[in-house]
Amino acid sequence: MTNFTNFRFEVDSDGIAVATWDMPNRSMNVITPEVMEELSAIVEKVAADEAIKGCVITSGKETFSGGADLTMLQGLGAQYDKLAKEKGEEEAMSFFFEQSRGLSLLYRRLETCGKPFAAAIHGTCLGGAFELALACHHRVLSDSDATRVGLPEIKVGLFPGAGGTQRVARLMQTGDALQMLFKGEQVRALMARNMGLAHQVAPRDGLVQAAKEWIKGGGSAVAPWDAKGFKLPSNKVYSAAGMQIWPAANAIYRRETQDNYPAAYAILEAVYQGLQLPMDQALKVESRWFAKILRSKEAAAMIRTLFVSMQELNKGARRPKEVPPTKIRKVGVVGAGFMGASIAYVSANAGLEVVLIDKDIEAAEKGKAHSHKLVSDQIMKGRAKTADRDALLARITPSATYESLADCDLVIEAVFEDPKVKAEVIAKVEAAIRPDCIFASNTSTLPISGLAKTSKNPAGFIGIHFFSPVEKMMLVEIIMGKETGDTALATALDFVRTIKKTPIVVNDSRGFFANRCVLAYILEGHLMLIEGVPPAMIENAGKQAGMPVGPLSLNDEVGVDLGLKILRATKAQLGDAAVIPGQEALLTRMVDGDGRLGRKNRKGFYDYPEGAPKRLWGGLKELQATHVDGETLDMSELKHRLLVTQALEAARTVEEGVITDPREADVGSILGFGFAPFTGGALSYIDFMGVKRFVELCRSLQAKHGDRFAPPKILLDMAESGDTFYSRAGSRKAA
């Protein structure tokens, strides 16, 4: 037995080696420079030792591996910049190319070393780890529900650069391969085998044995694409069949990415060029694209926000250190309506005991039935078992009496959005709970400090703001009232961690963070409509800018009437000047005049006919006083307006101290409302554009469209000092 730090290496009496990847002091295996070094030594040992017939690679952890350490790639970028400054671009680029293809070369060496390698995989095996498996000559997956394989690199602005694009495109039809690479989805074991990504599915405890048997049975050490007579699954690129694929592939690429993701374009190129070359050259092409993409600002922005920052926030970056871990066992949810029922479900699903209260037991039972429906759907899809449903439902106790909250550690209210109702509920809850129980409100519009005024314990009062649909949305805003204490914050963060969502901590303000930006986006859509921009163009501009849906469509989802309600509340509290009369007139006409409330009544900016796709409402034209010819409009200006208005709002939340950490605005904007992910989020959008340029852009929009585009002082100061949101935050932390 030879020992490595990150692998256990054993050879059995049949001469079959097993390399068990099991990194010390880490819960997960991850590809690091040391892992690469040791893997390389293992490959060389297997190749050189005549007594070794072949090698199985498996994991000693609960799961296989999540892939490469992205901070390692981030470090490479920093080295590039340093070298470029010291020795020039050319030298830096060649260093970067050689470094960034290290993993690809290592895997290719494994594939061509002359001995068969088999991967035995249980749990998740993603990114660079799955590329390792793809380079092995045989892949056995465990039949467990926990097993997933996939190449999710595209989600952080990268693409699989260690052979993934080439091997997948040689295992599957080109169209399917592109789809998989573009989407970055995780695939379960049986599906992976059916797709041709794995050879065998076996029970977990027989995995390594199955892989060994394959080697013992004379498994080939030659990859299919290195064997004579290999045929590409979709035939040669320059064949009649092969050529049919590319126009469609181009169209799918454009539809899915709006040309905003250089990594997706690189996938298209790497596969197209690579399939015309033998493997070694194909890998070189892939590596060239990889080095280029790794240096793109989109990859830098996405890695920072969607990998590094998100991980930091998930691990409790904002949690007050001095508060010891709270032990949340039982949660009370008051209000078993649309939101409350779902909050009860996600809590019970995470293993917490839940007391679900409504005005009467029937309403509470109805809320619990929502969980029954959600788990049943999971069972139908094969993602849960009947026993899981029984256990989950047993954890939810419906009730109509507040005394049932007596031993809760945290209570979340989700009753009607009415300060009077809330005050009443707060009093009833506080009379029933332990003094150390934390009280949270899920209000979306009422300031937490105001609600806390009716509380006996404002230090234990906090906002936990969920987004709908709760089951799907990964973001939760934690709202700090003026008097909210550290224990309440720690408890709220621990709770969000338990239900496996991502928290951002914001200070109290009207609309908190996410909804402020969302409303700005929707407002801009309304104003374009009023100006006479063709509605379809407004929606396309939103999507082309990188938003998941256009502003009018988004308004339909949240409810046109809700938009009007918020506008009227704002006007009542802040005065006439706080609202734009044109928007008020538009919404009043839609809601009060035409009864168009949005998707909920199948009539909003769109019509939602039964059994047919939604379509823009024909009557919108009549709401427009003028009609601008689309040909005369500048699409890039429309796109800018839609993103800039949100980024400006985000900048204002920083200026006002609502957001205190740029990571939270960035992560929150992508997870909360899908702010163009390739930008890295609403503040990174400004940072990567350069504050100076952003301010100029604001000024030109202000001149044409009004003072809502006026850059706030914080941006003027930053443009002057050369700061970015992240450099400001960094220097504050260091101070």
Binding site for ligand NAD (CB under 6 A): 334-340, 357-359, 363, 414-417, 421, 424-425, 442-444, 466, 468
Specify the amino acid at residue 281: Q
CA dihedral for 358, 362, 368, 369, sign (positive or negative): negative
Least gap, CB of 354 to ligand NAD (angstroms): 15
Least gap, CB of 362 to ligand NAD (angstroms): 10
The nearer residue to ligand NAD, 365 or 417, going by C-beta atoms, is 417
Minimum CB separation of residue 359 from ligand NAD in Å reads: 5
Sign of CA dihedral 517, 518, 521, 522: negative
Residues 410, 495: contact at Cβ < 8 Å? yes
- Minimum gap (Å) between residue 469 Cβ and ligand NAD: 8
Burial class (CB in 10 A: 0-12, 13-18, 19+), 636: exposed
Shortest separation between residue 470's beta carbon and ligand NAD, angstroms: 8
* Of 371, 565, 614, 394, the residue nearest 470 (C-alpha): 371
Q: Which of 699, 684, 695, 37 is nearest to 309 (CA)?
A: 684
Q: Which amino acid is at 8?
A: R
Cα–Cα dist 295/297, whole Å: 7
Rounded Cα–Cα distance for residues 457 and 460 (Å) = 6
Query: Minimal distance in Å, beta carbon 602 to ligand NAD?
Result: 18
- Which of residues 230 and 338 has its CB atom nearest to ligand NAD in the complex? 338
Q: In what order do the strands lie in the sheet with 475-480?
A: 396-399, 353-357, 330-334, 410-413, 438-441, 461-466, 475-480, 502-507
Closer residue to ligand NAD in complex, CB, 9/512: 512
Cβ 658 to ligand NAD, closest distance in Å? 17
Cα(358)–Cα(334) distance, integer angstroms: 6
Cβ-based nearer residue to ligand NAD, 68 or 470: 470
b vs e for 90-107, b when ≥16 Cβ sit within 10 Å of the residue's Cβ? Answer: eebbebbbebbbbbbbbb
| Shortest Cβ 316–ligand NAD spacing (Å) | 23
The number of beta carbons lying within 10 Å of the beta carbon of residue 452 is 23
Q: How far out from the chain centre does Cα 686 lie?
A: 20
Radius of gyration of the chain (CA): 28
* Contacts of residue 472, Cβ cutoff 8 Å, sequence gap at least 6: none
| Cα 654 to Cα 725: distance, rounded to the nearest angstrom | 9
Using Cβ positions, the residue closest to ligand NAD within the complex turns out to be: 337
Spatial contact of 561 and 567, defined as CB atoms under 8 Å apart: no
Closer to ligand NAD by Cβ: residue 59 or 347? 347
Give whichever of 39 and 514 is closer to ligand NAD, judged by the CB atom: 514
**In angstroms, what is the minimal distance from the CB of 216 to ligand NAD?**
58
Nearer Cβ to ligand NAD, position 323 or 446? 446
How many angstroms separate the CA atoms of 246 and 546, rounded? Answer: 24
Residue 427 CB, nearest approach to ligand NAD (Å): 10
Complex with ligand NAD: residue 111 or 358, whichever CB lies closer: 358
Q: Which of 302, 317, 311, 316 is nearest to 74 (CA)?
A: 302
CA distance 693 to 336: 48
**Residue 399 or 646 having the CB closest to ligand NAD:** 399
CB 286 to ligand NAD: min, Å: 44
Judged by beta carbon, residue 341 or residue 545, the one nearer ligand NAD is 341
Whether a cis peptide bond, with omega within 30° of 0, leads into 469 is yes
With respect to ligand NAD, which residue has the nearer C-beta, 363 or 670?
363
Could you tell me where the beta strands, DSSP code E, fall in 122-199? 124-126, 138-142, 148-150, 186-188
DSSP annotation of 51: T
Closer CB to ligand NAD, residue 201 or residue 363? 363
Of 49 and 417, which CB lies nearer to ligand NAD in the complex structure? 417
**CA angle, residues 617, 562, 373, in degrees to nearest 5:** 90
Residues near 651 by beta carbon (within 8 Å), at least 6 away in sequence? 683, 686, 711, 712, 714, 715
What's the closest the beta carbon of residue 591 comes to ligand NAD, in angstroms?
A: 17
Minimum CB distance to ligand NAD smaller for 46 or for 479: 479
Q: Least Å distance between CB 268 and ligand NAD?
A: 38
Q: Shortest gap between Cβ of 482 and ligand NAD (angstroms)? A: 20
Judged by CB, which is closer to ligand NAD: 359, or 699? Answer: 359
Q: What's the min distance (Å) between Cβ of 649 and ligand NAD?
A: 18
Q: HEC string of 612-644?
A: CCCEECCCHHHHCCCCCCHHHCCHHHHHHHHHH
Comparing CB distances to ligand NAD, the nearer of 466 and 617 is 466
- Considering the complex, what minimum distance in angstroms separates the CB of residue 465 from ligand NAD? 6
- 651 and 712 in contact (C-beta within 8 Å)? yes
We find the least distance from the C-beta atom of residue 441 to ligand NAD, in angstroms, to be 7
| Interatomic CA distance for residues 168 and 180, integer angstroms | 9
Q: SS3 for 484?
A: coil
- According to the 3-state scheme, what is the secondary structure of 347-404? HHHCCCEEEEECCCHHHHHHHHHHHHHHHHHHHHCCCCCHHHHHHHHHCEEEECCHHH
- Minimum Å distance from CB 267 to ligand NAD? 36
The tokens for 151 are 């190449």
Q: In what order do the strands lie in the sheet with 117-121?
A: 2-3, 7-11, 16-21, 54-59, 117-121, 138-142, 200-202
Q: Which is nearer to ligand NAD, 422 or 641 (CB)?
A: 422
Assess contact for 504 and 656: CB atoms under 8 A.
Answer: no
Output 272 or 461, the one with its CB closest to ligand NAD: 461
Per-residue CA distances from 449 to 453, 457, 479, 508 (Å): 6, 12, 9, 7
